[in-house]
């Protein structure tokens, strides 16, 4: 009990010093921090604590890939592929290729053709999974003969699942480009589960704009406006964004947004109106040139997400691969459209399933409230320990302050996010750390009352309480760990602070307090225990 190895003293003191150094930048005001950063060597960590969105304000949006729209696109592609295959193989069918909910169906004129065409049909879809890691790949398409020469091609659940996953990956890329273009700091975009994407943008002032940017598919198409004498099957009626009423537009897409290489907001030098300048890649540029040369005098519809933005008349061939979109935009709308076009279109429709926005004012209020509660709580606990245990209370209090420093240093080093429930978790671990000291001190008192000498009472107190401390903290830790793995967002933050607090309790409340008591005993040589 009395002798304490020098290395232990040194390591505890240096760990404490390190914790203080790690925390220091977070305690400074932003201005002072910047001034300091200019003077210290660059290898010193200047990380500050990461505040959760509930504390600093910002938006959290959970988006879901619409599996139904993915399936619909898949079935449409399947129909086109099937038609093409049947045409290539010159296999006659009665009626057309019909779309079902999960696939297509057609009727062969000659049922014997089935044997010939079925292997080719099953190659229309790529096999799913397994090829890299070995294992058998599942067929992406279920081809079956339902009798009488009727063939059905159904998209398997695995294939759909795979497509959705793929759409999520692709969407994350597109969203990242879009959000980065907004120019806010450190957005967090990540996959959540199979079909969801979480977007967290700290400190955003205007959540409406974010939602608009996230929720737009941004599928851009250039199509000719239909003429009165055209076959009605080749034309569809589309909504217009500028004027009420619909406009007939040819179904055939002349040029697609995929071929865009750049889009920038600008102003029309003649009218002063906000416009979007765009540039095509070589393929798109050539195609655009051909179409505009062949259709001078006809209106050309610019269609975004199934709505006609504008339908200017082609005045002359537009070669050179660049052009502009005008549509009575505001400056902001032109800017947004340019961002969306640059980032590309989303592969599938995304719906917002959850949205949480905390204004910066509330965030600041929450920090203030959390700080106030933490200071008052800590003061109450420290004061109570002092009047209950006197000198030993001071030791426990020093250990407690170091304990809090360790928790914050741990949070900073882990890059964990401090949330409001996280602050609550810290307040709770203060209580639990105190419990360890209470267990030890009460045990020392008990042993002293039982007639042990001072040294032996101190020794027995620490030894006996330790088993209890381990048992009780491990049970708490188990709960915190499970909370971390199953929880999301703020609950997770809570679990991290709790788990960190439990781990550091052992160091501070047990070892550090023991060290202080041992040093105190050697110095004072008391004849009576002061508790």
Q: Is the CB of 112 or the CB of 467 nearer to another protein?
A: 467
* Subset of 346-375 contacting another protein (CB under 8 A): 351-359, 361-362, 365-366, 369-370, 372-374
8 binding another protein? (CB under 8 A): yes
425 binding another protein? (CB under 8 A): yes
Q: Which part of the chain contacts another protein (CB under 8 A), choosing from 37-45, 242-250, 325-333, 426-434?
A: 426-434
β partners of residue 494: none
Contacts of 526-529 spanning 24+ positions with Cβ under 8 A: 526/454, 527/454, 528/454, 529/444, 529/445, 529/448, 529/454, 529/457, 529/458
408 binding another protein? (CB under 8 A): no
* Binding residue for another protein, selected from 178, 223, 287, 514, defined by CB under 8 A: 514
Rounded-to-10 torsion of CA 246, 249, 253, 259: -50
In 3-state terms, what secondary structure has residue 318? coil
* Subset of 89-128 contacting another protein (CB under 8 A): none
Tokens found for residue 398: 């020093």
Burial 467-498 (b: 16+ CB within 10 A, else e): eebeebbeebbeebeebbeebebbbbbbbbbb
* Binding residue for another protein, selected from 467, 523, 527, 528, defined by CB under 8 A: 467
Answer for the pair 202, 182: CB distance below 8 angstroms, yes or no. no
Q: Is the CB of 292 or the CB of 437 nearer to another protein?
A: 437
**Nearest-approach distance from CB 408 to another protein, in angstroms:** 17
β partners of residue 106: 151
* Subset of 486-505 contacting another protein (CB under 8 A): 486-491, 494-495, 498
Tokens found for residue 74: 């898949």
Tokens found for residue 418: 């401090």
472 binding another protein? (CB under 8 A): yes
Q: Which part of the chain contacts another protein (CB under 8 A), choosing from 25-33, 76-84, 172-180, 466-474?
A: 466-474
Q: Is the CB of 132 or the CB of 387 nearer to another protein?
A: 387
* Subset of 47-66 contacting another protein (CB under 8 A): 54, 62
**What angle, rounded to 10 degrees, do the helices at 489-505 and 360-414 form?**
40
Answer for the pair 182, 339: CB distance below 8 angstroms, yes or no. yes
Report how far residue 212's alpha carbon sits from residue 325's, in angstroms, rounded to the nearest whole number.
20
Report how far residue 313's alpha carbon sits from residue 168's, in angstroms, rounded to the nearest whole number.
38
**Nearest-approach distance from CB 367 to another protein, in angstroms:** 10
SS3 sequence of 54-109:
HHHCEEEEEEEECHHHHHHHHHHHHHHHHHHHHHHCCCCEEEEEEECCCEEEEEEC
> What sections of 415-488 are H helices per DSSP?
420-449, 454-486
Q: What is the DSSP letter of 280?
A: E
1 binding another protein? (CB under 8 A): yes
Q: Is the CB of 46 or the CB of 479 nearer to another protein?
A: 479
Q: Is the CB of 24 or the CB of 374 nearer to another protein?
A: 374
Report how far residue 213's alpha carbon sits from residue 336's, in angstroms, rounded to the nearest whole number.
7
381 binding another protein? (CB under 8 A): yes
Q: Which part of the chain contacts another protein (CB under 8 A), choosing from 136-144, 163-171, 265-273, 425-433?
A: 425-433
**Nearest-approach distance from CB 476 to another protein, in angstroms:** 4
Q: Is the CB of 320 or the CB of 390 nearer to another protein?
A: 390
* Binding residue for another protein, selected from 180, 431, 524, 526, defined by CB under 8 A: 431
* Subset of 202-231 contacting another protein (CB under 8 A): 207-208, 211
**Nearest-approach distance from CB 63 to another protein, in angstroms:** 11
- Identify which of 291, 220, 221, 282 has the alpha carbon closest to the alpha carbon of residue 253: 221
Q: Is the CB of 173 or the CB of 446 nearer to another protein?
A: 446
Q: Is the CB of 261 or the CB of 466 nearer to another protein?
A: 466
Q: Is the CB of 405 or the CB of 469 nearer to another protein?
A: 469
With contacts defined by CB under 8 A, how many residues of the chain interact with another protein? 89
* Binding residue for another protein, selected from 154, 430, 444, 512, defined by CB under 8 A: 430
Q: Is the CB of 96 or the CB of 431 nearer to another protein?
A: 431
* Subset of 145-204 contacting another protein (CB under 8 A): none
Q: Is the CB of 49 or the CB of 458 nearer to another protein?
A: 458
């Amino acid at each position: 009990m009395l002798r304490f190895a020098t290395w232990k003293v040194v390591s505890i003191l240096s760990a404490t010093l390190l914790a203080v150094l790690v925390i220091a930048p977070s305690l400074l005001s932003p201005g002072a921090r910047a001034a300091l950063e200019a003077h210290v060597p660059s290898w010193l960590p200047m990380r500050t604590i990461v505040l959760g969105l509930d504390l600093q304000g910002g938006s959290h949006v959970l988006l879901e890939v619409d599996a139904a729209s993915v399936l619909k696109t898949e079935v449409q592609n399947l129909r086109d592929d099937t038609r093409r295959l049947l045409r290539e193989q010159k296999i006659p069918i009665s009626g057309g290729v019909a779309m079902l909910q999960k696939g297509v169906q057609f009727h062969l004129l000659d049922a014997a053709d089935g044997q010939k065409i079925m292997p080719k049909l099953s190659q229309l879809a790529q096999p799913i999974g397994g090829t890299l890691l070995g294992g058998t790949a599942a067929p992406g398409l279920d081809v079956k003969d339902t009798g009488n020469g009727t063939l059905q091609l159904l998209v398997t659940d695995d294939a759909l699942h795979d497509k959705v996953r793929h759409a999520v990956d692709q969407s994350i890329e597109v969203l990242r480009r879009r959000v980065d273009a907004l120019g806010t700091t450190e957005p967090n975009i990540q996959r959540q589960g199979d079909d969801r994407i979480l977007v967290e943008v700290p400190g955003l002032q205007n959540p409406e704009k974010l939602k608009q940017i996230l929720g737009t598919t941004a599928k851009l198409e250039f199509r000719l406006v239909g003429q009165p004498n055209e076959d009605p099957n080749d034309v569809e009626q589309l909504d217009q964004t500028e004027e009420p009423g619909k406009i007939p537009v040819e179904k055939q897409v002349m040029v697609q947004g995929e071929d865009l290489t750049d889009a920038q907001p600008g102003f029309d030098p003649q009218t002063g109106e906000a416009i979007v300048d765009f540039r095509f890649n070589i393929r798109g540029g050539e195609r655009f040139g051909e179409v505009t040369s062949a259709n001078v005098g006809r209106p050309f519809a610019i269609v975004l997400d199934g709505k006609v933005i504008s339908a200017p008349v082609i005045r002359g061939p537009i070669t050179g691969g660049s052009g502009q979109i005008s549509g009575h935009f505001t400056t902001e709308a032109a800017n947004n459209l340019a961002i969306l076009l640059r980032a590309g279109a989303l592969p599938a429709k995304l719906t917002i399933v959850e949205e949480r926005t905390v204004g910066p004012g509330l965030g600041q209020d929450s920090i203030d409230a959390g700080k106030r509660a933490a200071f008052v709580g800590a003061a109450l606990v420290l004061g109570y320990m002092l009047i209950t245990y006197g000198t030993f209370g001071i030791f426990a209090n020093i250990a407690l302050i170091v304990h809090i420093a360790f928790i914050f240093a741990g949070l900073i080093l882990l890059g964990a996010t401090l949330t409001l429930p996280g602050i609550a978790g810290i307040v709770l671990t203060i209580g639990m750390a105190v419990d360890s000291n209470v267990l030890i001190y009460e045990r020392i008192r008990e042993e002293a009352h039982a007639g042990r000498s001072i040294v032996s009472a101190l020794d027995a107190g620490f030894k006996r309480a330790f088993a209890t401390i381990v048992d009780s903290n491990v049970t708490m830790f188990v709960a915190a760990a499970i909370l971390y793995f199953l929880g999301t967002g703020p609950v997770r933050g809570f679990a991290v602070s709790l788990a960190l607090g439990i781990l550091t309790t052992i160091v501070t409340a047990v070892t550090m307090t023991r060290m202080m008591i041992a040093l105190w005993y050697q110095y004072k040589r008391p004849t009576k225990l002061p508790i």
